Amino acid sequence: MKTMVRKIYLPNGMEAVEAEYKESPIAEYNNNPFIAALPELDDEETIIRKLMLNPIYSEEERELDASIKLHMIHRLYQFFQPLPKHIEIWNMINTLIRQGYLARNPFDKEYKRYINETGQEIINRSFDIDSRTNFRTTASSGLIIGFSGMGKTTTVNRVLSYIPQVIVHNYYNNQHFNQIQLTWLKLEAPHNSSLKALTLQFFMKIDELLGTENFKRYVSRNLSVDAMLPLMGKVAQNIGLGLLIIDELQHLSGSGARQIMNYFVTLINSFGVPIIFIGTPASYDFLQNEFRIARRVTGNGEVIWNNMKNDEEFELFLNGLWKFQWTRKNTPLTREIIDLFYEETQGISDLIVKLFVNAQYKAIVSGEEELTEEIILSVAKEEFKLMKPMLDAIKSKNPYKAIKYEDLRKIEEFNSNLSNTKSNDKANTKTTRNTNINKTKIARETLDRNNITRSTTQKVKIENLKEDDLRLLVDKGNKVGETTYETLLKNGLIDDLSFLEIGDIQ
């Protein structure tokens, strides 16, 4: 039987829990108070049960007055249906925290010597943030990149809600251990890619959580960013920071972004703090150019989260949602409705919930009190006007159209794995060259099959061409003053790339 977690309150009023140490079935996780104080590891069934969140609902509520039910349908925004990606993120977070603590056992003599030496160097301002250290980190980084509206941040917050953020230690193995442990800290990437903005956010968040005065102590002294960076690492060591989450990574760009990423590498290498990056596909290209971060991510935790396909996963999500109908008449979930929902949302979870909520709203307000295909279609047409160009781009499966919407492009269609970074440029160039050779070969074989070679093409007379021959179509266009591009575009044979700016296609 599990014991109740004892809650305590810090002097600033923030809630914390008293450390309760548990034996782990994983040998290397034992004898380390930072790991032993974390919640026990769960099996997959327990993870699903913890993540699942259904809104308050009863069948009797369907008979209530419409004005009351219009409020109740908004409960659906609390709905959370666990899917394979959610379990993957759960395991990533719990693994990164524990692995990061392995090399940071506060009772390990070598680690205590290292943090004392580092602290002295920082005080003397002799600490070199770019230098190699004799500290062998076990920390790594994770990456969650995906479509806007798929629930990346919501999922991370839901997982973190099961890990006490602040743990207070007093004794461990009959030894005094007076320590506050901050298991995780979540920051947002600064819009202006400012390293100073990131450091200020770091100190302010920790002071807010723990009631410390780091901001007053370091920022009010007008220390430079270079001076504050080692202090961030030192504070992270002092509070046993288990995991740093950086959200909205797509905000970073330019030289400031590179400086921030370099510091993250230092935080992992020199201070042993694992990091999870969360962003839209717009941030993926930038990460590919940062080899040191790419190397840390590759093979450790990379969740690529595109829109759902119209398959079992999508049906599972919609089935879970469909149980919560406040209309008087119950509408069964048919294959036609499943396909209609997919057509109008393209498997983006946020849009699925919004379409379901607004369709119920319209059904109740209209007095029809039934979800019909007509109502669903009309709601999608009215409510998703702004999203239509983006959804059309997804439906087209055309990578050039998707480029315009960085938040909604499928990563695998544009990028290879993160490990294909600058160090692999030569190999990539060779691959590209071979691909072009293969394309040329295929084109040549196609021409041969149609008995049209380069030499014979010039000899064929226009009047002898078949009606479906492209050359006949182009010739007709040329006669009315159209370019070949204009003719092919007008006839729907190529895509309109006019929205692309120079540099979009690389």
Q: Summarize pLDDT for 18-31 with one digit per residue, the tens.
A: 999 999 999 999 99
pLDDT at 125: 80
Q: Which CATH number does the domain housing residue 92 bear?
A: 3.40.50.300
Residue 50, amino acid:
K
Q: Are 242 and 184 in contact (CB under 8 A)?
A: yes
The Cα angle at residue 248 between residues 347 and 300, in degrees rounded to 5: 80
pLDDT at 421: 41
Rounded Cα–Cα distance for residues 466 and 451 (Å): 14
Residue at 477 is within a domain: yes
Residue at 192 is within a domain: yes
Residue at 38 is within a domain: no
The burial of 424, by beta-carbon neighbours within 10 Å (0-12 exposed, 13-18 middle, 19 or more buried), is given as middle
CA 447 to chain CA centroid, nearest Å: 45
pLDDT at 466: 65
The residue with tokens 């005065």 is 213
pLDDT at 410: 63
- 447 and 370 assigned to the same domain: no
- Is the Cα dihedral 237, 238, 242, 243 positive or negative? negative
Q: Summarize pLDDT for 406-441 with one digit per residue, the tens.
A: 665 566 544 444 444 444 444 444 444 444 445 444
Q: Both tokens of residue 342?
A: 């997919």
Q: Summarize pLDDT for 254-297 with one digit per residue, the tens.
A: 778 888 888 888 888 889 999 999 998 888 767 766 655 656 55
- 439 and 483 assigned to the same domain: no
185-188 and 175-182 as β-strands: parallel, antiparallel, unpaired?
unpaired
Ranges of the chain whose pLDDT falls below 50: 1, 413-437, 439-459, 499-506
Q: Any bridge partners for residue 245, and if so which?
A: 186, 276
- Average model confidence (pLDDT) for the chain? 82
H/E segment holding residue 50 = helix 44-51
Domain of 115, in residue numbers: 7-30+83-305
pLDDT at 462: 62
DSSP 131: S
Number of domains comprising the chain: 4
H/E segment holding residue 16 = strand 15-18
- 258 and 383 assigned to the same domain: no
DSSP 80: B
DSSP 412: G
Residue 300, amino acid:
N
Domain boundary among 375, 408, 441: 408
pLDDT at 121: 86
- 295 and 325 assigned to the same domain: no
Q: Summarize pLDDT for 75-124 with one digit per residue, the tens.
A: 999 999 999 999 999 999 999 999 999 999 999 999 999 999 888 888 88
Residue at 65 is within a domain: no
Q: Are 247 and 153 in contact (CB under 8 A)?
A: yes
- 360 and 254 assigned to the same domain: no
- 269 and 347 assigned to the same domain: no
List of long-range contacts for 388-396, beta carbons under 8 Å, 24+ apart: 391/344, 391/345, 391/346, 394/307, 394/346, 395/343, 395/346
Residue at 55 is within a domain: no
Residue at 123 is within a domain: yes
- 389 and 443 assigned to the same domain: no
- 190 and 232 assigned to the same domain: yes
Q: Are 271 and 146 in contact (CB under 8 A)?
A: no
**Distance (Å) of CA 253 to CA 10, 194, 261:** 38, 10, 10
Residue at 254 is within a domain: yes
Q: Both tokens of residue 187?
A: 């920051």
- Is the Cα dihedral 208, 212, 216, 219 positive or negative? negative
Q: Both tokens of residue 244?
A: 């740093």
Residue at 136 is within a domain: yes
Task: Report the predicted TM-score, pTM, of the whole model to 2 decimal places.
Answer: 0.79
Rounded Cα–Cα distance for residues 147 and 352 (Å): 14
- 253 and 337 assigned to the same domain: no
Concatenate the DSSP letters of all residues of 222-280 into one string. T--HHHHHHHHHHHHHHTT---EEEE-GGG--HHHHHHHHHHHHHHHHHH---EEEEE-
Residue 424, amino acid:
N
- 318 and 390 assigned to the same domain: yes
- 156 and 238 assigned to the same domain: yes
Domain boundary among 305, 334, 351: 305
Domain boundary among 305, 321, 352: 305
- 94 and 176 assigned to the same domain: yes
Which stretches does DSSP call E strand in 53-189?
141-146, 166-172, 175-182, 185-188
User: Max Cα separation, the chain?
Assistant: 98
pLDDT at 290: 62
Phi, psi of 451 (to 5 degrees): 55, 35
